[in-house]
């Protein structure tokens, strides 16, 4: 048997935020459907909530995906999402090259009519300084944005680990550990004070997306560390 470390054990102080659907979940019944009340990260205790009660994501298994465990089911029609617009301190620092990792599934491939945000961090009502999103190109264009973008144009059904990082040479987008796009390197332009999943800094651009885990790091992990993170995700979520 191979014993894997936790995200925290592997990344130490470089792990800035870690929202795991198996942990930090507060949910309650809404007319026979369990819905998320809040989601607390396991590093700094940052709590994400829905903008309004009617926008609470469904707390349930997404079929047999994610080992049949309950996840965060964001959606477009009801604008279901979770966010914290004012953490009260700097989350991602200006001048840094932060890392974002999401384990999730596109339940519907975007139709290109609008942008659809998976997760991000920025300044509420000002801008998304770091995010993973699908743009309005007409196909599932997954983009890691941090000033400049690395975009991958393809349909990506099924459960995957999505990663965005900047190693000082290039901005890089990975799906399940495989690099799928690169972009021009740059550092974060502003301190971020908000975090969200299924929406963005403007409180729009929702997504039919199921999320099992969202993590942020202060810098890109090494290739070996990223391989271990993928092994952890495979073990935890069964994809």
Q: What is the pLDDT of residue 141?
A: 63
Is residue 139's pLDDT more than 60? no
Listed by start position, the domains of the chain span 83-237
Q: What is the pLDDT of residue 173?
A: 93
Which overall architecture, per CATH, does domain 83-237 show? Sandwich (2.60)
- pTM equals 0.95
Confidence band for 138, pLDDT divided at 50, 70 and 90: very low
Q: Which tens digits make up the pLDDT trace of 17-71?
A: 999 999 999 999 999 999 999 999 999 999 999 999 999 999 999 999 999 999 9
Is residue 108's pLDDT more than 50? yes
Q: Which tens digits make up the pLDDT trace of 2-18?
A: 799 999 999 999 999 99
- Residue 236 backbone class (left: φ over 0; alpha: ψ -120 to 50; beta: rest): alpha
Query: What is the C-alpha R_g of the chain?
Result: 16
Q: Which tens digits make up the pLDDT trace of 168-208?
A: 999 999 999 999 999 999 999 999 999 999 999 999 999 99
Of residues 136 and 225, which shows the higher confidence score? 225
Confidence band for 87, pLDDT divided at 50, 70 and 90: very high
Q: What is the pLDDT of residue 214?
A: 98
Confidence band for 88, pLDDT divided at 50, 70 and 90: very high
Mean predicted confidence (pLDDT) in 201-228: 96
Q: What is the pLDDT of residue 140?
A: 53
Q: Per residue, what are the HEC states of the chain?
A: CCCCCCHHHHHHHHEEEEEECCCCEEEEEECCEEEEEEEECCCCCCEEECCCHHHCCEEEECCCHHHHCEEEEEECCCCECEEECCCCCCCCCCCCCCEEEEEEEECCCCCCCCCEEEEEEEECCCEEEEEEEECCCCCCEEEEEECEEEEEECCCCCEEEEEEEECCCEEEEEECCEEEEEEECCCCCCCCCEEEECCCCCCCCCCCEEEEEEEEECCCCCHHHHHHHHHHHHHHHCC
Half-sphere exposure of 205 (CA within 13 A, CB side): 25
Is residue 113's pLDDT more than 90? no
Of residues 148 and 42, which shows the higher confidence score? 42
- Residue 230 backbone class (left: φ over 0; alpha: ψ -120 to 50; beta: rest): alpha
């Amino acid at each position: 048997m191979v014993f894997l470390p936790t995200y925290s054990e592997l990344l130490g102080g470089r792990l800035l935020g870690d929202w795991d659907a198996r942990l930090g979940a507060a949910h309650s019944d809404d007319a026979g459907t369990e819905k998320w009340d809040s989601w607390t990260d396991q590093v700094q205790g940052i709590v994400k909530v829905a903008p309004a009660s009617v926008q609470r994501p469904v707390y349930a298994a997404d079929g047999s995906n994610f080992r049949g465990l309950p996840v965060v089911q964001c959606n477009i029609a009801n604008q279901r999402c979770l966010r914290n617009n004012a953490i009260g301190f700097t989350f991602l620092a200006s001048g840094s090259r932060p890392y974002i990792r999401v384990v999730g599934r596109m339940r519907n491939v975007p139709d290109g009519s609008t942008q659809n945000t998976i997760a991000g961090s920025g300044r509420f009502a000002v801008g998304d300084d770091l995010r993973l999103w699908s743009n309005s190109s007409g196909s599932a264009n997954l983009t890691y944005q941090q000033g400049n973008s690395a975009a991958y144009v393809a349909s990506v059904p099924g459960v995957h680990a999505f990663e965005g990082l900047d190693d000082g040479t290039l901005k890089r987008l990975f799906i399940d550990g495989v690099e799928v796009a690169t972009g021009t390197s740059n550092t974060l332009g502003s301190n971020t004070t908000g975090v969200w999943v299924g929406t963005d800094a403007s409180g729009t651009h929702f997504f039919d997306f199921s999320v099992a885990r969202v993590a942020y790091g202060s810098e890109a992990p090494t290739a070996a560390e990223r391989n271990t993170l993928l092994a952890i995700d495979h073990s935890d979520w069964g994809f």
